[in-house]
Structure 1
Amino acid sequence: MNNQVKLMGVIIFTLFSQLCLAQEDTRHIQLHHLLDSLHRSNAFNGNVLVAEKGKVIYQESFGLADEKSKRKIDHDTAFELASVSKQFTAMAIILLQKQGKLSYSDEVSKYVPELAAYKGITLHHLLVHTSGLPDYMALAVKYWNKNDIATNASILKLFEQVKPEREFQPNEKWEYSDTGYLVLATVIERVSKSSFNDFLKQNIFMPLGMNRTFIYQRRYEPMQIKNYAEGYIYSDSLKRKILPDELGNGNYEVFLDGVVGDGMVNSTTEDLLKWDRALYTDQLIDDNDKKLVFSSHDTSTGQATAYGYGWFIENSEKYGKVVSHSGDWAGYITYIERHIDRDKTIIILQNNSLESTVIPVPDICKIIYGE
């Protein structure tokens, strides 16, 4: 009798395992059909990784990393993350707070006297985009010498000189702000007394084994990067894909290359999965910190911002708590989405920023949830 029970258990386990494998194979086939079709229609060029509980269920590369040499993208190809970088800037501020070197309630002018005219703005306001600081890109386009590459320091000097008006009073409303994360990167450097790159490398990238993640400013500090994806935009006049540099120094993607904090982190899909896994542990931050990172913070009027510390926040009826961020800069379209309650992760890195480029996350979700 015992042997029969054991045998039945083995049979049930085997059938269940085969069913799971069949389901996994089906999802893999469906995901590949989706991404391959998009690639063939010039709507997707890059890397995609989908994981459940840290296990990769789909990972594939599509297209070229370099149009000139015809070098193909592979799993280890590094991409500019654009605004996906903001979550690393936010994490650096959290780590400095945990070290007792700053407080979220500190006024920005304590560390950045160039912004003394903008009283009442705290580090928290910068983190959640409620500072009211005007857009630095618009300011640079209007006042900056386009033959020079701007840096965080030079942009802050421009703020000090021009003193553009606030968009609104601190915490009065929510408005996405690249300026805020530029300022946060400057705070990180001044408080830690190290470069933005070095602080992230020593405190985040190296501890997590993210060996293919780094700050790269190709025009401000040119260097040779192994297996790097060049970012392409489309030129209507030339009728072909080009590098932004071909547009000349007047293009803001070129003369703002010295700015960090709101972008300029570069990484791979596999390194971003390591980052995803670390956020389920206490390796960098504890549960109290995570509540700040992955919660929406209200404005003074009670408006829900749907933004945490470096992440957009959504409470989905279908998928539970979803945190995500997209990026779009100089030929790169990037995206990371984490379904925290279900432990599912979608990472997309593309090096074509074209009118036809899409981020097919809704379709990917339908497949992985069997909808």
Structure 2
Amino acid sequence: MNKYLYPILFSIAVSVNAQDQNKAAKFDSLFTKKYNDKTFNGNVLIAEKGKIVFQKSFGVADYKTQSLLNNTTVFELASVSKPFTAMGIIMLEKEGKLKYDDPISKFIPELSFYKNITVRNLLNHTSGLPDYIGLFQKNWDKSKFATNKDIVTEFAKYKPEILFQPNEKYEYSNTGYALLGYIIEKASGKTFGDYLETNIFKPLEMKNTFVYRSRFQPKTIENYAKGFIENDFGTIISPDDLGKSYYTYYLDGMVGDGMVNSTTEDLLKWDRSLYSNKLVNEKDKAIIFQGTKLNNGKMTDYGFGWQIGENKEYGKAVAHSGGWAGYTTYIERNLSKDQTIILLQNIDTPKTDIPAQSVRKILNNEKITVVTAKKTVYNDKVLNQFLGVYSAENFPMKVTVTQEDNILYAQATGQDKFPTEAYENNVFAFDLAGIKLIFNPEKNEMILEQGEDKTFFKKE
């Protein structure tokens, strides 16, 4: 339930009251423009050292009724749920009910034919299991809701081959976290929602946070942000308007890879708890916020439920993003500077934007830079020159460039594709992560720029 794992960049912070006021004004200007441009509809909370620097709602909670969002509106978190799932597993390990290196067959004997896959592999996306969503789109009876148990049943039935041997590489997997949700239920004897409520939400006084499947187990929730998407004609609609055969309907019974619902204020409580030892100790946190060592000795940038970024000059941060039909979510925690970015949106369209890079720059008193070239539109013939698979000697992933409906997309190995905006001189930008792609089709070359970093790629 995730579209992008946004790369993390950091900057140096200075915090005084006057600067905080100046930052708040800049944040307000940034998100007001995004809202007016129809690229942002949601809630924003930005904090430094636990103090809220900026908090505001932009837009509507329900496009049909035009009711407005407010600071306590509840959003579906999509893949921002994954850190909670990982924490559930960590707490079960502390209770002695499982071990990270237990084979998944200990809890899911139906999948014992998948050899050497451990709980740890599920946590850090190194299991090699294919994503369940494609399997269900192909084989599932769309008139029925699918649950985590059905993932087990369908995988046992069809036995899809693993993509690689466990711990050979990293590849983001919703299947892994859905199976972790199932393991939490098996190991604890409670439902996924009840276990998280008892062990995480209640102890942290996250009163507006819960596991909720709006179609599978519908109920009335006050102040709830209803998710909306854009149809092929550019009209804003509910995913439910597309009928029961649409994946968000029949996959609504799944938990673990998504389905935690929360508010920006509750997520700040979650953020603060991770600086204390209320749930876990320092040893646990060292594991959570540390990348994974693969069989070849290389490190990934994903720990237990968090993407990790570290820079000698700016420090270390962890983040997770989420995308599910109707919702676009993001949380980032700069551990070195104690800065927190929480962005929750109840809209998911090709234009939906999470301006995390701009937020970081404002937080750290840096000038927001924009692409200086003018926007343009390229025809299919021109775009086709840029398509292909690009690789670089000093870059661990390949980048696949595709186009759809006159929009150029880029996709790094193991991550979902992201859309770009076209500018003159063969420049394509992805503002969410401060990325520019510059193509030289005559030489089959591409330059990837992010901040001060440049990486040179050749088309294969």
* TM-score category (smaller protein): over 0.9
Q: Distance in 1 between matches of 2:73 and 2:52?
A: 17
Q: Specify the alignment match of 2:119 in structure 1.
A: 123
Q: CA deviation at 1:330?
A: 1.4
Q: Specify the alignment match of 2:159 in structure 1.
A: 163
Equivalent residue for 1:304, pick from 276, 299, 305: 299
* Secondary structure in structure 2 of the residue aligned to 1:105: coil
Q: CA deviation at 1:275?
A: 0.2
Q: Distance in 1 between matches of 2:237 and 2:67?
A: 16
Q: CA deviation at 1:319?
A: 3.0
Q: Specify the alignment match of 2:227 in structure 1.
A: 231
Would the aligned equivalents of 1:319 and 1:339 in 2 still touch at CA under 8 Å? no
Unaligned runs of 5+ in 2: 1-14, 367-460
Name which structure has the greater RCO, CA cutoff 8 Å, separation 6+: 1
Q: Which moved more, 1:127-136 or 1:20-29?
A: 20-29
* Pair 1:73 & 2:61 matched: no
Would the aligned equivalents of 1:86 and 1:310 in 2 still touch at CA under 8 Å? yes
Q: CA deviation at 1:199?
A: 0.1
Q: Distance in 2 between matches of 1:135 and 1:215?
A: 22
Equivalent residue for 2:269, pick from 250, 264, 274: 274
Matches within 5 A, 1:1-371: 20-237=16-233, 239-371=234-366
Q: Distance in 1 between matches of 2:17 and 2:309?
A: 31
Moved >6 Å (runs of 4+): none
Instruction: Give the alignment's TM-score, normalised by structure 2.
Output: 0.76
* Number of aligned positions between the proteins: 352
Q: Distance in 2 between matches of 1:319 and 1:216?
A: 37
AA aligned to 1:285 is V
Q: CA deviation at 1:301?
A: 1.2
Q: CA deviation at 1:209?
A: 0.4
Identity score, percent: 51
AA aligned to 2:168 is E
Would the aligned equivalents of 1:49 and 1:59 in 2 still touch at CA under 8 Å? yes
Unaligned runs of 5+ in 1: 1-18
* Secondary structure in structure 2 of the residue aligned to 1:261: coil
- Deviation per residue, 1:64-90 (Å, 9 max, x gap): 001121110000000010001000000
Q: Distance in 1 between matches of 2:111 and 2:84?
A: 23
AA aligned to 1:287 is E
CA RMSD of aligned residues (A): 0.9
* Secondary structure in structure 2 of the residue aligned to 1:134: coil
* Secondary structure in structure 2 of the residue aligned to 1:147: coil
AA aligned to 1:281 is S
Would the aligned equivalents of 1:173 and 1:303 in 2 still touch at CA under 8 Å? no
Would the aligned equivalents of 1:152 and 1:183 in 2 still touch at CA under 8 Å? yes
Q: Distance in 1 between matches of 2:135 and 2:311?
A: 37
- Deviation per residue, 1:136-191 (Å, 9 max, x gap): 00110111001111000112101111111111111111100000001001110011
AA aligned to 2:351 is S
Q: Distance in 2 between matches of 1:118 and 1:78?
A: 38
Q: Distance in 2 between matches of 1:112 and 1:270?
A: 36
Instruction: Decide which structure has greater helix share.
Output: 1
Q: Distance in 2 between matches of 1:68 and 1:248?
A: 17
Q: Specify the alignment match of 1:10 in structure 2.
A: none
Q: CA deviation at 1:318?
A: 4.6
Q: Distance in 2 between matches of 1:205 and 1:316?
A: 32
* Secondary structure in structure 1 of the residue aligned to 2:86: helix
* Secondary structure in structure 2 of the residue aligned to 1:114: helix
Would the aligned equivalents of 1:269 and 1:349 in 2 still touch at CA under 8 Å? yes
Q: Distance in 1 between matches of 2:16 and 2:122?
A: 45
Q: Distance in 1 between matches of 2:20 and 2:35?
A: 22
Instruction: Give the alignment's TM-score, normalised by structure 1.
Output: 0.94
Q: Specify the alignment match of 1:12 in structure 2.
A: none
Q: Distance in 2 between matches of 1:316 and 1:271?
A: 29
* Secondary structure in structure 2 of the residue aligned to 1:154: helix
Q: Distance in 2 between matches of 1:161 and 1:240?
A: 39
